[in-house]
Amino acid sequence: AQSVTQLGSHVSVSEGALVLLRCNYSSSVPPYLFWYVQYPNQGLQLLLKYTTGATLVKGINGFEAEFKKSETSFHLTKPSAHMSDAAEYFCAVSHGAGGYNKLIFGAGTRLAVHP
Amino acid sequence: DSGVTQTPKHLITATGQRVTLRCSPRSGDLSVYWYQQSLDQGLQFLIQYYNGEERAKGNILERFSAQQFPDLHSELNLSSLELGDSALYFCASSALTGANTGELFFGEGSRLTVL
């Protein structure tokens, strides 16, 4: 069975500081990994995804994540936080493409950015 | 705008009642997924339909049912509602093409409040 663990339900950073949101996954097959962001009263928006190939993936709004198979991790980073980054972030895993496979989500990490 | 449309956006009802949530997927997407988001359970996968047929089932209660119609829109029926069913219900869709990489596109959700 697949699962996702997000370490830290709440993370608070200063504007301009590094953002690091942690995600570890469990999967018996090569995973597809995703980070989604949810702004208040909105749906989930894809930030970035890893399927195959380059393990460092870049997404929207300056975010990036690195797939580390040996550590079963897919941590999300951004060099410099902006106030507009305040939102809830979800890591998710699926084990394939083709539209057949549901995403399993972590519990989410709420990011607060203070001046 | 993800292209996934959900109605109604907000719904308030009483315990014991029945409601229907509607979802129109992105144009051309054959797969529809339903998720429940609550404070204590996080994002839980409920059910997936592909081209009118049930594809995968998650933590969906027997009081809940769904279907996907020939025009590919989907409905989630919730009956004998309980206070604990209050949540945000998301619909998502995905393509089924060779280029698909498992990404889901989410609607803005239907917020159900059971009083």
Q: Which two tokens stand for residue B42?
A: 């996080």
More reliable by pLDDT, B36 or B101: B36
Tell me the average pLDDT across B28-34: 91
Contact B43, A103 (CB under 8 A): no
Of the pLDDT bands very low, low, confident and very high (cuts 50, 70, 90), residue A27 is confident
Are B43 and A108 an interchain contact pair (Cβ–Cβ within 8 Å)?
Answer: yes
Of A43, A49, A101, Cβ closest to residue B2: A43
> Is B52 within 8 Å of chain A by CB?
no
Of the pLDDT bands very low, low, confident and very high (cuts 50, 70, 90), residue B49 is very high
Of the candidate ranges A61-70, A74-83, B35-44, B58-67, the one whose mean pLDDT is the lowest: B35-44
Q: Which two tokens stand for residue A32?
A: 């597809």
| % chain A with pLDDT above 70 | 94
Residues of A with CB under 8 A from a CB of B: 32, 34, 36, 41-46, 49, 51, 90, 94, 96-108
Q: Which residues of A touch B4 (CB under 8 A)?
A: 43
Q: Which pLDDT score is estimated for B59?
A: 84
Of the pLDDT bands very low, low, confident and very high (cuts 50, 70, 90), residue A96 is low
Strands B74-78, B19-24: pairing kind: antiparallel
Tell me the average pLDDT across A89-97: 81
Of the pLDDT bands very low, low, confident and very high (cuts 50, 70, 90), residue A95 is low
Question: Is residue B96 predicted with pLDDT exceeding 70?
Answer: no
Strands A73-78, A64-68: pairing kind: antiparallel
Interface with chain A: mutation pick from B48, B89, B94, B111, highest number of A CBs within 10 Å: B94
First to last CA, chain B: 31
Of A36, A43, A108, Cβ closest to residue B42: A108
Give the 3-state secondary structure of residue B17.
coil
> Is B22 within 8 Å of chain A by CB?
no
